[in-house]
Amino acid sequence: MATILVPDQVSAVEDAEALRKACQGWGTNEKAIISILGHRNAAQRMQIRLAYEQLYQEDLIKRLESELSGDFERAVYRWILDPADRDAVLAHVAIRKTKPADYHVVIEISCTRSPEELLAIRRAYQARYKCSLEEDVAAHTSGDVRKLLVALVSAFRYDGEEINARLADSEADILHNAITKKEFNHEDVIRIVSTRSKTQLMATFNRYRDDHGTSITKNLQLGESGDQFLEALRTTIRCINDPKKYFEKVLRNSIKKFGTDEDGLTRAIVTRAEKDLKDIKELYYQRNSVPLEQVVAKDTSGEYKAFLLTLLGKED
């Protein structure tokens, strides 16, 4: 379930007017910006952008970028974008970050979104960057990691509920054989995790655990730490197997670090606030015995903190 609180009745024109007012004159009224945008869903934010453009012949996003700064600006920018467009931006930043590309973000986007959502992201990517997502991923990675990543971003997985039990059985064995022999990069491993439907893969992973007495993610810890491909494979399987649990860990790691990882924190909160952040918050509490809001409040400050807490469902 989502965390953001959206009022029953909203007017895109009134919101646009209020945002204009918040941006005018000496200083910016960040509180007003948060109290509007932090309580609107994707469709409403899109309407506000359109209304703002019509009223003032100005791009709201550009205006906000010039008014805001730092982590708060980046969070608002990511939040205001249409989800597919936002994911295209996140992927692009991750791919071009530095060498090597931040492939965990690419995996996260390709494996925790639905097949149709991933297609929408690929379309948005092309509209923005005049090339395909897989083209950029392929050009900025290499070796086995490239094989895996290109296959993941190119996949249009079957989204039905059907399970082929015999296939789950045989492919659990293929995975187990490869892992036991430490052939993590075996082409069948890449083929299976990148083409099978998520429902089918869950069945395969369950079968793996039943037949071999241990989960595939546990088994993958057999490899050398620091092996990039192995880490990418582990992230892939975790994203497919239990996306909520995966995001709980993204949040945990982004806060646990010496110096908060604002990119990870913002990304997890912004991309899940309209989806399942409530469930992720619960998992976080179960796992860490402290409410996520409390940790976020302690680790962040100013408008950035106020904005994240609003997205986490705090009443104004």
Q: Is 140 in the site for a second copy (CB under 8 A)?
A: no
Q: Residue 39 or 123: which CB sits closer to a second copy?
A: 123
Q: Residue 123 or 209: which CB sits closer to a second copy?
A: 123
Q: Which of 14, 58, 59, 159 binds a second copy (CB under 8 A)?
A: 159
Q: Is 107 known as a binding-site position? A: no
Number of residues that bind a second copy (CB under 8 A): 29
Q: Which of 29, 35, 41, 195 binds a second copy (CB under 8 A)?
A: 195
Q: Is 240 in the site for a second copy (CB under 8 A)?
A: no
Q: In 3D, which of 306, 307, 238, 243 has the Cα closest to residue 277?
A: 243
State the sign of the Cα–Cα–Cα–Cα dihedral 46, 48, 49, 53.
Answer: positive
Q: Is 199 known as a binding-site position? A: no
Q: Which of residues 94-133 bind a second copy (CB under 8 A)?
A: 119, 122-123, 126, 130-133
To the nearest whole angstrom, how small is the minimum distance from the Cβ of residue 195 to a second copy? 4
Residues 6+ apart with CB under 8 A from 21: 29, 32
Q: Is 207 in the site for a second copy (CB under 8 A)?
A: no
Q: In 3D, which of 315, 316, 268, 274 has the Cα closest to residue 292?
A: 268
Q: Is 168 known as a binding-site position? A: no
Q: Residue 150 or 251: which CB sits closer to a second copy?
A: 150
Q: Is 165 in the site for a second copy (CB under 8 A)?
A: no
Q: Which part of the chain contacts a second copy (CB under 8 A), choosing from 58-66, 159-167, 234-242, 250-258? A: 159-167
Q: Is 198 in the site for a second copy (CB under 8 A)?
A: no
Q: Is 117 known as a binding-site position? A: no
Q: Residue 69 or 170: which CB sits closer to a second copy?
A: 170
Q: Which part of the chain contacts a second copy (CB under 8 A), choosing from 76-84, 143-151, 240-248, 291-299? A: 143-151
Q: Is 298 known as a binding-site position? A: no
Q: Is 257 known as a binding-site position? A: yes
Q: Is 180 known as a binding-site position? A: no
Q: What is the 3-state secondary structure (H, E, C) of the chain?
A: CCCCCCCCCCCHHHHHHHHHHHHCCCCCCHHHHHHHHCCCCHHHHHHHHHHHHHHHCCCHHHHHHHHCCHHHHHHHHHHHCCHHHHHHHHHHHHHHCCCCCCHHHHHHHHHHCCHHHHHHHHHHHHHHHCCCHHHHHHHCCCHHHHHHHHHHHHCCCCCCCCCCHHHHHHHHHHHHHHHHCCCCCCHHHHHHHHHCCHHHHHHHHHHHHHHHCCCHHHHHHHCCCCCHHHHHHHHHHHHHHCHHHHHHHHHHHHHHCCCCCHHHHHHHHHHHCCCCHHHHHHHHHHHHCCCHHHHHHHHCCHHHHHHHHHHCCCCC
Q: Is 150 in the site for a second copy (CB under 8 A)?
A: yes
To the nearest whole angstrom, how small is the minimum distance from the Cβ of residue 228 to a second copy? 16
Q: In 3D, which of 204, 201, 239 has the Cα closest to residue 103?
A: 239
Q: Is 154 in the site for a second copy (CB under 8 A)?
A: yes
Q: Residue 139 or 222: which CB sits closer to a second copy?
A: 139
Binding site for a second copy (CB under 8 A): 119, 122-123, 126, 130-135, 138-139, 146-147, 150-151, 154-160, 162, 187, 191, 195-197
Residue set of the binding site for Ca(2+) = 25, 27, 67, 255, 257, 259, 297, 299-300
